Amino acid sequence: MALVENGMLQEVWLERASHTGYIGNIYQGVVSRVLPGLQAAFVDVGLERTAFLHARDMVRHDPVTTGNETPPEPLISSLLRPGDRLVVQVIKDPLGSKGARLTTNISVPSRFLVLLPDCDVVGVSARIEDEAERARLKALVHTLRDRSLGHGYIVRTNAEGVNDFALSADMAYLGKVWQTVIERAGSAPPATCIFEDLSLPLRALRDMMHEKVDRVRIDSKHVLQKAREFARSFVPDWLDRIEEYSGDRPIFDLFGVEDEIESALRPTVPLKSGGYLVFEQTEAMTTIDVNTGGYVGHRNLEETIYKTNLEATQAIARQLRLRNLGGIIIIDFIDMLDEEHRRQVMRSFARALERDHVKTAVTEISALGLVEMTRKRTTESLERRLCVPCPPCQGRATIQSTATVRLELFREIMRSSRQFDAGTLMVVAPPQVVERILDEQSATVAELEELIGKSIRFQREEQYSPEQYDVVLL
């Protein structure tokens, strides 16, 4: 699925039938190991790898009563023992070699509300800024909810302006869902899923539909039918915005989505001014470097730097969403001497990030000219979802030069000649390596033959990678 704003691709969501996401799913888990040193436990929920549960994710943080204070963590050993069964929810998909991240603080979202079972609190999304509207929604939820159940609610951004009927319908839906979860939890065998979140298209309708969405185009009749049924039940006013796409061209080609995805997999992003960005994604963090490139400006160097950094803020904010980058992100803006320019660049970056529905936190420009930020990471980045490590370089993103391979090959010939008794050695290597050796190192090969007292033959192998070779004894 793709989100296009003003003719430009902003976000891409992927979900394969063979590997759907797990976020939001609720499981009957079994504790496999308790790790007191990490204040955590590994829980078997039926996935390929055991999931991770930290002690802090077993304590519900009530911002209404505790403010910004973090409640104390109980000792994990006092909460769990191996073999214990507990109901858990996935809050992060498995990432790389890490298993899923779990919490016992269950939450069930709907169109306008998020149900917080056994948590007697009512909150309102911070994205609803109008204080009068916040007070109205909070009062409505307090009036409509059944306090005897002991459930709390968070009012979502989509609820801005809705009436009591819509909120009441959401509460009824959430109540049925939670009752189903309770019933299944009582009878489900260990390490099984007892509640599965909506599929990707329906989650997108639930979470992303708002007044600014002009239309939703779907090219699958099956998905279109499900989307319309969902909209008919939860967002009937927007049913006419869901359209079938039946054109001859693939829908992604129509909006240039494939080209944008291909560009997002490259490390370099050109800017309209002539500058460019360089993205480097590692296991620990993502770094972004801003460069002026071919942009020389019209006034002076400081103005050129300022304009490039301003343009970069918009491009970076878009790329973060498009590439789905998360975790720690370091941005190296071009150094600015003017303090007002620095402030303007940070204001521009903050405004650009407002369109991002994922939680972000940004620091000011450091003494080294770096901006540190975090972006909540719940799923793999676009690159990690679509790409695999390069076999020739084994994920290093570089390969050894022909000269380096040649030297390694000579050392291997020396080792083999001393270790084994053979009259002739056959070297099997890529064509470019063999040609370099025969053209530039023929004298060295002759000296090597004299040194080891054996004949050396070479054979080109087209199927070998640039770093691959074999020394065969004849």
Give residue-wise pLDDT tens across range 394-438: 777 778 888 888 888 988 888 888 888 888 889 999 999 999 888
User: What is the model's pLDDT at position 61?
Assistant: 59
Determine the average pLDDT of the residues in 231-241: 80
Please give the pLDDT value at position 329. Answer: 96
- Number of residues that make up the chain: 474
pLDDT class of 207 with cuts at 50, 70, 90: confident
Domains of the chain as residue ranges with CATH: 21-105 (2.40.50.140), 265-386 (3.40.630), 402-473 (3.40.1260.20)
Q: What is the pLDDT of residue 66?
A: 46
Long-range pairs for 73-81: beta carbons < 8 A, 24 or more residues apart: 73/39, 75/36, 75/39, 76/34, 76/35, 76/36, 76/38, 76/39, 76/40, 76/41, 77/34, 77/36, 79/55, 80/31, 80/34, 80/41, 80/53, 81/31, 81/34
Instruction: Return d(Cα 196, Cα 108) in angstroms, integer.
Output: 11
Mean pLDDT of 197-216: 80
Averaged pLDDT, 320-344: 93
Note the pLDDT tens digit of each residue in 248-286.
888 888 888 888 999 999 999 999 888 899 999 988 899
Q: Residue 177 above 70 pLDDT?
A: yes
Cα 145 to Cα 167: distance, rounded to the nearest angstrom:
10
Q: Which of 65-74, 85-94, 381-390 bottoms out in mean pLDDT, i.e. has the lowest?
A: 65-74
Asked whether the predicted pLDDT for residue 196 surpasses 70, the reply is: yes
Stated as kind and residue range, the H or E segment containing 28 is strand 26-35
- Residue 40: per-residue pLDDT: 93
**Would you say 311 and 344 are in contact if contact means Cβ atoms under 8 Å apart?**
no
Most confident of 7-11, 40-44, 58-62, 389-393: 40-44
- CA 81 → CA 75, 264, 429, distances in Å? 12, 45, 56
Whole-model pTM over 0.85: no
The pLDDT of residue 65: 45
Confidence of residue 363 (pLDDT cuts 50, 70, 90): very high
For the chain, give the mean pLDDT. Answer: 86
Cα gap 59→40, rounded to integer Å? 13
Q: What is the mean pLDDT of residues 171-187?
A: 87
Higher-pLDDT residue of 148 and 460 is 460
How does residue 71 score in pLDDT terms, banded at 50, 70 and 90?
Answer: low
Closest CA to 7 of 208, 312, 255: 255
Q: What is the mean pLDDT of residues 125-134?
A: 88
CA dihedral sign of residues 91, 16, 97, 267: negative
